[in-house]
Amino acid sequence: MDHAHTSDTLLARLRDGFDRIAFVLRADLWTAAGEAGLNPAQAQVLSLLAGRPAGLRPTEIAAHLAVSAASMADTLGALVRKGLVQRDADPGDARAAIMRATPDGLEAGAEIARAASQVAEALEALPSAAQEELLLTQIALIRQLQTAGAIPLQRMCVSCRHFRPHAHPRAAKTHHCAFVDAAIGGRDLRLDCGEHQAADPAVQAATWTRFTKGSPPLQAQPES
């Protein structure tokens, strides 16, 4: 049978594979959230805010988690009542608020992060090379989703002004992070970095080209 003429295309199988993995991830999240006395949406918000000590606006949280503003308002309200999230005035907009995790919220978020995960165990069992290749594939997929406007800009190395792709082409760790002034390898690339500073869109595009094609690195950007 010529599989190219059936509905069982490679893209369909890849999406099916992601659906199956997502099912297990959801089950992991339900279990960890339940043990912390939360629902999955509340657990996701705490996990996001744990990595954003400066806080986020409710609209930003909703965009990151791809949910409606109304749904996010209900989730944040519940977390505020539980003392896990606090609502502060936004110094940049008197009509807006900044949501931050409280100390109890950070502790609950840490417990959720430490919870056993079937997907994490499966990933750990993969060979090192397969783990790194999967990370690079995730980076490429996330960038495609960003470009399409499906998700906000993520704090990845490849969109950061400090990232220098292939700065050390003959070294084991081929890239360079100017923030820590150190070489980094493929396994070191971050999907979410607290020190991330978004590069200019044109620079991001050029960085991505160099990253994927192995070209020489960009020149350092001037400090603002």
State the pLDDT at residue 218: 44
Tens digits of residue pLDDT in 106-131: 999 888 888 878 999 999 999 999 99
List, in order of start, the domains of the chain with CATH numbers.
3-119 (1.10.10.10), 126-213 (no CATH)
Q: Cα separation of 97 and 122, whole Å? A: 40
Tens digits of residue pLDDT in 35-80: 999 999 999 999 999 888 889 999 999 999 989 989 999 999 999 9
Q: Cα separation of 182 and 173, whole Å? A: 9
Q: Cα separation of 197 and 202, whole Å? A: 14
Q: Are 67 and 84 in contact (CB under 8 A)?
A: no
Q: What's this model's pTM, rounded to 2 decimal places? A: 0.82
pLDDT at 148 over 90: yes
Q: Are 130 and 142 in contact (CB under 8 A)?
A: no
State the pLDDT at residue 223: 45
